[in-house]
Amino acid sequence: MKIVMLGAPGAGKGTQAKQIADQYGIPHISTGDIFRANIKEGTELGKKAKSYMDAGGLVPDELVMDLVVDRIGKEDCANGFVLDGFPRTIPQAEALSAALNKKNEKLDFAIDIDVSDERIVKRMSGRRACVNCGATYHVVTIPTKKEGICDRCGSETVLRDDDKPETVQKRLAVYHEQTQPLIDYYKNKGILKTVDGTQPMEKVFSDITAVLGA
């Protein structure tokens, strides 16, 4: 099963993508996670990506396309994958399609998790991420057991720079301009499925599994 997740930043793509990956035994590939890991390790890619990410913009297509094409060519993607945060532009979607075409493969589903901008801003200001392991929480909906401390590894949890309100507004503008056109792109390909992302997380997931036919 080859799936891409669509939706504004903060719509819940990551949470749902992880669950889909567990349920179907396919890798969860998050380009945001890959960039954050590179930043943490101080790689060249991380250094290049950081300035764009901190400003709420997109990392240039050429820095992300080869990375994803390589990743989905790995052995563990033989039965599929769930891409979270990629594609984010039409050229990225075209690059993905071309890479799959070469192998006589194609995407099965593009799942759009639909949430209004207003809700996104509210949600993201409450998001917290662990500085060490990257686990994500929310002060209201998924709080840590001890305030400000990661349940998983005991490190500090913080509001990520790219989740700060002014950056979120910028990210939403970027989303509408560059990523939203993918909704029509995948609708035209006949693989778009939209789920209501304002429902409780479990209900969003059961709607997704219904769409995927599980």
Active-site residue identified among 2, 123, 128, 160: 160
Q: Among this protein's residues, is 13 annotated catalytic? A: yes
Residues 6+ apart with CB under 8 A from 190: none
Q: Which is nearer to ligand AMP, 136 or 206 (CB)?
A: 136
Q: Which residues pair with 157 in a beta bridge?
A: 130
Active-site residue identified among 88, 123, 128, 193: 88
CB of 171 to ligand AMP, least distance (A): 6
Q: Which is nearer to ligand AMP, 104 or 161 (CB)?
A: 161
Give yes or no for a contact between 108 and 26, defined as CB atoms under 8 angstroms apart: no
Q: Which is nearer to ligand AMP, 90 or 206 (CB)?
A: 90
CB of 98 to ligand AMP, least distance (A): 16
Round to whole Å and give the CA distance between 123 and 164: 11
CB of 52 to ligand AMP, least distance (A): 5
CB of 86 to ligand AMP, least distance (A): 4
CB of 113 to ligand AMP, least distance (A): 13
Residue nearest to ligand AMP (CB): 32
Of the candidates 72, 71, 63, the one whose C-alpha atom is nearest the C-alpha of residue 105 is 72
Of the candidates 108, 61, 60, 62, the one whose C-alpha atom is nearest the C-alpha of residue 83 is 108
Q: Which is nearer to ligand AMP, 156 or 161 (CB)?
A: 161
Active-site residue identified among 2, 13, 123, 193: 13
Interface residues toward ligand AMP, by CB under 6 A: 9, 31-32, 35, 52-53, 57-59, 64, 85-86, 88, 92, 162, 171
Round to whole Å and give the CA distance between 83 and 90: 15
DSSP-derived pairing of the beta strands 127-130 and 157-158: antiparallel
Q: Among this protein's residues, is 160 annotated catalytic? A: yes
Round to whole Å and give the CA distance between 21 and 64: 21
Q: Which is nearer to ligand AMP, 6 or 26 (CB)?
A: 6
For 24, counting Cβ atoms within 10 Å of its Cβ (0-12 exposed, 13-18 middle, 19+ buried), the class is middle
Q: List residues with catalytic annotation.
A: 13, 88, 127, 160, 171
